Chains A and B, each alone.
Chain A
Amino acid sequence: MSNRLLLHYNIDSADLHAAGEVSSTVKKILKQLGVAPEIVRRVAISMYEAEINSIIHAGGGFVDVEITTQKIFVRFTDNGPGIEDISLAMQEGYSTASQQVREMGFGAGMGIPNMKRYSDDLKISSAVGEGTVVEITVFINN
């Protein structure tokens, strides 16, 4: 028995209908673990934004979740187009979303700023043409 719980999920390609499924599943699990609602909320919001990004900007990917009694760590990996200028992408209002995506209600350029706001630590690494890795950490302070 380890004190670490590892979970793995795939995010199916550009299926917007499935958007939010992984964050919703993890949310349910965190509730089963008895994690405080406020922490669950922060993880869920950050994950939801990252999940949507990997669908609309990168055509899907996969997610690894690591849970301990101290923290929740989530890594989103995709093989999408990558982000050219990460510091630009972190800015509020910056978005490269297409008109079509905007019409669906995304593309306000608030996703990454929200991840930053709701997580304790956010790391994004990316290579153009190769893909993007987004790492989100939220601490559980009992």
Chain B
Amino acid sequence: MKQYFHSVTLDKEKCKGCTNCIKRCPTEAIRVRDGKAKIIKERCIDCGECIRVCPYHAKKAITDSFDKIFEYKYKVALVAPSFYAQFKDKPDVNVILTAICKVGFDYVFEVASSAELVTEVTKNFIQKNNLPKPVISSACPAVVRLIQVRFPNLIANLVPLLAPIELGARLAKERAVSKTGLSPEEIGVFFITPCAAKATYIHEPLGIEKSLVDGCISIKDLYLRILPVMKQIKKPKMLATASTDGIFWAKSGGESFGLSNENNIAVDGIWNVIKVLEEVENQTVEDIDFLEAAACVGGCVGGPLTVTNCFVAKSRINHVLENTKLSPSLYTYSSDLDEAVRWEKTIDFEPIMKLDSDMAVAMQKLEQLEKINDNLPKLDCGSCGAPSCRALAEDIVRGFAKESDCIFRLREKVKKLSVEKGDAQ
């Protein structure tokens, strides 16, 4: 199997081994071993929680360096709508987009535009197909990964449609090819990303073999580059076309806003998402038609690579277009999109928690695990480097840790040894 790419990685130099992150990881993917944090790759869903919590900024998201765009003859920026919420004083979106062109891009595509189209397709899809309720949005890759590793029964509830980022990449590339006559390889499509999950997505796309996005630049990075440039723009190019329906996708509740179902709920923050998915799995919320779930508090405006506080940004999203004159969109919905944005391959369950592929052996290991766990102090103190006593017991059974990693067990052992020694004297 090829190595799964993760955007979220550890900067070993900066990590102090403090254990702040281990409990905040929703999939128990982090351990501190030999004084440094370690991410168990198979378990990480790139939600970015550890990036937010690390006091030493030792967890980072790998995005591309800005220079990478210059490897292409024609450079396209796919701008996530959350980008607009980074700026104070409701700037004209045309100014933002013009500034992006000024710092090196040849063309900008608003992901809000493709989001509008995805909304239309989603409406039709839900109407025509009988998906289990509630239908779950597949727009946040961290949530889809979470479902893939932890809620396999809910894979069937996911909307099997391309996310706006991918449809945007397709439309933008097609347009750039026809505009310039260049070959698709000479055109670089870069997503301006609010998060690590989307950065991972372009390497490990969902529902398709290969993403058409060629790289990603973090919102932070581009923000700093265009801020001074924006001030100098007196006469912006008229580039803004996306309406609020698409722009609202940036905040929690925005995607369902465009769908006209009766019972939609929007859940944000990975821990809240987990709680609700547990309920969906228990079938206690079947009265809900559509579940929008975002790993970040506030939705994408709360992404770990954004600049502005998510609550401020969420409110700004409501006012993005106040000083913007929109031009007519080049991209309109047509029914052939319905087929075009369908996932081409299924998403498979990844049983990362399995102790052994032979159930009888797994049962023996589990019995051992429970026994070890019974002997641990149940303080979940984290000193051993595992998020809970039970997680340590699991690590021991898997052969990655030993009982004396628990400082309480170690102390007992030392005491016992010294008593024995004392007796001997």
Contact = CB atoms under 8 A, between A and B. Distances in A.
Nearest to A142: B359
A76 B45 CA distance: 36
Interface string A47-77: 0100000000000000000010100000000
B153 A33 contact: no
Contacts of B152: 37
Interface in B341-383: 349, 351, 353-357, 359-360, 362-364, 366-367, 369-370
A29 B366 contact: yes
B412 interface: no
Contacts of A31: 150, 351, 353-354
B387 to A, nearest CB: 14
| Interface class of chain B by DSSP | helix
Interface of B: 150, 152-153, 278, 281-284, 349, 351, 353-357, 359-360, 362-364, 366-367, 369-370, 394
A86 B276 CA distance: 32
Nearest to A118: B283
B362 A44 contact: no
Contacts of B394: 32
Contact of B363 (A3, A23, A28, A45): A3
Contacts of A28: 353
Given A29-B366, A32-B362, A69-B363, 20 more contacts: A3-B363, A5-B366, A23-B282, A24-B278, A28-B353, A31-B354, A32-B355, A33-B359, A33-B363, A34-B355, A34-B356, A34-B362, A35-B359, A38-B153, A40-B153, A41-B153, A44-B281, A45-B282, A48-B284, A67-B363
Interface in A67-122: 67, 69, 105, 114
- Most A CB within 10 A of own CB, among B281, B355, B364, B369: B281
Nearest to B369: A32
Given A1-B364, A41-B281, A114-B283, A34 B153 contact: no
A117 B309 CA distance: 47
Contacts, number: 61
Nearest to B153: A41
Nearest to A105: B284
Contacts of B353: 28, 31-32
B363 A5 contact: yes
A131 interface: no
Nearest to B368: A1
A23 B279 CA distance: 11
Contact of B278 (A20, A37, A105, A114): A20
A40 B359 CA distance: 14
15 contacts: A5-B366, A23-B282, A31-B351, A32-B362, A32-B366, A32-B394, A33-B362, A33-B366, A34-B351, A37-B152, A37-B153, A38-B153, A41-B281, A45-B283, A105-B284
A127 to B, nearest CB: 29
Interface residues of A, number: 27
Nearest to A114: B283
A29 to B, nearest CB: 6
Interface centre among B150, B281, B363 (most CB of A within 10 A): B363
Nearest to B355: A32
A5 B351 CA distance: 20
Contacts of B281: 27, 41, 44-45
B366 A34 contact: no
B22 to A, nearest CB: 18
Nearest to A38: B153
A52 to B, nearest CB: 9
A69 B153 contact: no
A48 B282 contact: yes
A32 B351 CA distance: 8
Contacts of B356: 34
B65 to A, nearest CB: 39
A35 B358 CA distance: 10
Nearest to A42: B153
Nearest to B394: A32
A78 to B, nearest CB: 20
B349 A32 contact: no
A33 B355 contact: yes
A105 B152 CA distance: 26
B367 A5 contact: yes
A28 B355 CA distance: 11
A23 B283 CA distance: 13
Contacts of A37: 152-153, 349
Nearest to A20: B282
